[in-house]
Structure 1
Amino acid sequence: MVMLVGLAFFGILVGFSSGFFGIGGGTILVPALIYFGYDIKMAIGISVMQMIFSSMFGSYHNHKAGSLALKSGLILGLGSFIGAAFSGMIVDAMPHLALLILFAVILLLSIYKMFTASLEPQLCPNESTFLLLFIGVFVGAISISTGTGGAIFLTPALVGFLGWDIKKAVGTTLFFVIFGSISGFISLSAHGYVDYAVGAAIGLGSVIGVYFGVKLSHRIDKKMQKRALLILYTVMFILTFNKILSEMNIL
């Protein structure tokens, strides 16, 4: 019980990050749970369960604030729901180290794309239905299989490739997380990769944190938000890369 209470308080931090960065929280939660001693596959399942709580509550507040592109978010979400349905099979098929490496590689690509992205959105950002659906399927399958909601990969894609405004991208990607997390939760539960008590404790804590994270996200300027995202991505990459080296017995 003491451990669950402690995890609930940790969930507040995860939720704050989720609301502020527009992510599901898995980018922080998966590496943290691994360092707490959880196997990566169980850490992924717990992370995906927590995302359901934070993404729903955060998206409600983003919608109220007008920073959610609902139509595009639904298309991306549909793709994510389809892609995430394969997460249980992907996690089953890939060894522990391969999942860590995949997570690190996609983080590195996200850092590069976010660093080079312009803060000024295109006059007519790309919102092609087919393209958004394809991106949703791909990101949903890969992200849920690595324990993230996909927003950490999706935000650089929307801002860097499709020319979206960063505020609109952050609000929409958190909404996108809802669909993939529900689908992934069903798939990972069926394969036995979810600790329900831990996931619920962190998820309930994240509801508190996400409220304050979303509020701050709406107030901060775009330049500061981009810098904060880059710092988050870099820290998570360093932690993940260090874990890879440990797994390979290099450290």
Structure 2
Amino acid sequence: MLTILAFFGLLVGFSSGFFGIGGGTILVPTLIYFGYDIKTAIGISVMQMIFSSMFGSYHNYKAGVLQLNSGIFLGFGALFGAGLSGVIVDTLSSLSLLILFASVLVLSIYKFFTAPLMPKCEPNESKIVLFGVGFVIGAIAISTGTGGAVFLTPVLVGFLNWDIKKAVGTTLFFIIFGSISGFISLATHGHVDYNVGVAVGIGSLIGVYFGVKLSHRIEKKVQKRALLILYVVMLVLTLNKILSEMNIL
């Protein structure tokens, strides 16, 4: 089983590098499919993010697509917000977590879909705004097992007028802060399977390298379409799980 999960870690790592995401949108549904409850799946997912986000951010920085100054303020916001994840996961039911994830994902899809490919005005890089955005997304995202990029990229592109390449590169860096804080919080509350987390994390290191390289070469239009497809697929899987939890399917 660990070998199979390490292979999925490779796929998750590739997606992390290419889309600038933590990988939880793929890994959490996969782990649930393998029989893990959502809270343990979230803990494993967050642990994996530490591996992929650090390694991927290093390569994004070398390529010049990481807005380091802005990313730090987003990251510190996430650091504080993600610290609430253990309490949120303990407080909310599995169904409530799924509904929260689906609701924010719907908003993200809409805003990202309607955003222009080329920003029409200067990007908003207000340190206060970025910290606030990081705090809110960090709390919600880590609590649902994602790094937050699936929510943050649409906010940066759709609301703050960022270029999609720099948004993708910076969101992966943002994940470092939230994943570390969230991992500590979730581990304290007993929601982390360390053996599975390490296996998936090692696999993700290989995948993220190739994902980042492809992300730097692909056209913006193609990358946006790929992101939208990913979001829709994850929404369908999440809605299916919600219906299952409600015993409708």
Task: State the TM-score, normalizing by the size of structure 2.
Answer: 0.99
Q: Give the match for residue 192 of structure 1.
A: 190
Please report how far the alpha carbon of residue 123 of structure 1 lies from its aligned counterpart in structure 2 after TM superposition: 4.1
**Is residue 2:237 matched to residue 1:239?**
yes
Q: Give the match for residue 41 of structure 1.
A: 39
Answer whether contact 1:67 1:168 (CA < 8 A) is retained: yes
Q: Give the match for residue 144 of structure 1.
A: 142
Q: Give the match for residue 91 of structure 1.
A: 89
**Is residue 2:26 matched to residue 1:28?**
yes
Q: Give, in whole Å, the separation in 1 of the partners of 2:21 and 2:232.
A: 15
Answer whether contact 1:122 1:164 (CA < 8 A) is retained: no
Q: Give, in whole Å, the separation in 2 of the partners of 1:193 and 1:122.
A: 44
Cα 1:31–1:250 change in 2 (3 A) is: same
Q: Give, in whole Å, the separation in 2 of the partners of 1:85 and 1:240.
A: 24
Runs of 4+ in 1 over 4 A off after TM superposition: none
Please report how far the alpha carbon of residue 137 of structure 1 lies from its aligned counterpart in structure 2 after TM superposition: 0.4
Q: Give the match for residue 108 of structure 1.
A: 106
SS at match of 1:121: coil
Q: Give the match for residue 220 of structure 1.
A: 218
Q: Give the match for residue 125 of structure 2.
A: 127
Task: Give the aligned length.
Answer: 249
Q: For residues 96-153 of structure 1, what are the alpha-carbon distances to aligned partners after superposition, in whole Å with 9 as ceiling and x for unaligned? A: 1000111111111111011001110244210001000000000000000000000000
SS at match of 1:148: coil
Answer whether contact 1:167 1:222 (CA < 8 A) is retained: yes
Q: Give the match for residue 173 of structure 1.
A: 171
Q: Give the match for residue 201 of structure 2.
A: 203
Q: Give, in whole Å, the separation in 2 of the partners of 1:177 and 1:242.
A: 27
Please report how far the alpha carbon of residue 6 of structure 1 lies from its aligned counterpart in structure 2 after TM superposition: 1.4
Query: What is the letter of the counterpart of residue 156 of structure 1?
Result: P
Q: Give, in whole Å, the separation in 1 of the partners of 2:123 and 2:233.
A: 30
Q: Give, in whole Å, the separation in 1 of the partners of 2:244 and 2:207.
A: 31
Q: Give, in whole Å, the separation in 1 of the partners of 2:152 and 2:163.
A: 13
Task: State the TM-score, normalizing by the size of structure 1.
Answer: 0.98
**Is residue 2:165 matched to residue 1:163?**
no
Q: Give, in whole Å, the separation in 1 of the partners of 2:201 and 2:210.
A: 15
SS at match of 1:125: coil
Query: What is the letter of the counterpart of residue 21 of structure 2?
Result: I
Query: Gapped runs of 5+ residues in structure 2?
Result: none
Q: Give, in whole Å, the separation in 2 of the partners of 1:63 and 1:245.
A: 41
Please report how far the alpha carbon of residue 180 of structure 1 lies from its aligned counterpart in structure 2 after TM superposition: 0.1
C-alpha RMSD over aligned residues: 0.6
Query: What is the letter of the counterpart of residue 112 of structure 2?
Result: M
* Segment of structure 1 superposing worse, 207-216 or 114-123: 114-123
Query: What is the letter of the counterpart of residue 6 of structure 1?
Result: I
Q: Give, in whole Å, the separation in 2 of the partners of 1:91 and 1:121.
A: 36
Structure-to-structure mapping, 1:9-28, within 5 angstroms:
9-28=7-26
